[in-house]
Amino acid sequence: MEYLDRLAEESVKDAIAKLVADGKRPNSQSVPPEARRLLLQKGRGRVSQADADKRVQQAIQRMKDRKEIKAPNAPYNDWAVIDYRRPAPADSSSS
Work out whether the CA dihedral 38, 43, 45, 51 comes out positive or negative: negative
Whether residue 90 is predicted with pLDDT greater than 80 in this model: the reply is: no
Polymer length of the chain: 95
Residue 57 has a pLDDT of 96
Residue 84 has a pLDDT of 58
pTM: 0.82
DSSP E strands, 1-95: 69-70, 80-81
Average pLDDT of the segment spanning 27-43: 95
81 beta partners = 69
Buried-exposed string 53-87: b where 16+ CB fall within 10 A, e elsewhere: bebbeebbebbbeeebbebeeeeeebbebeeeeee
Average pLDDT of the segment spanning 12-25: 95
- pLDDT-derived band at 91, boundaries 50, 70, 90: low
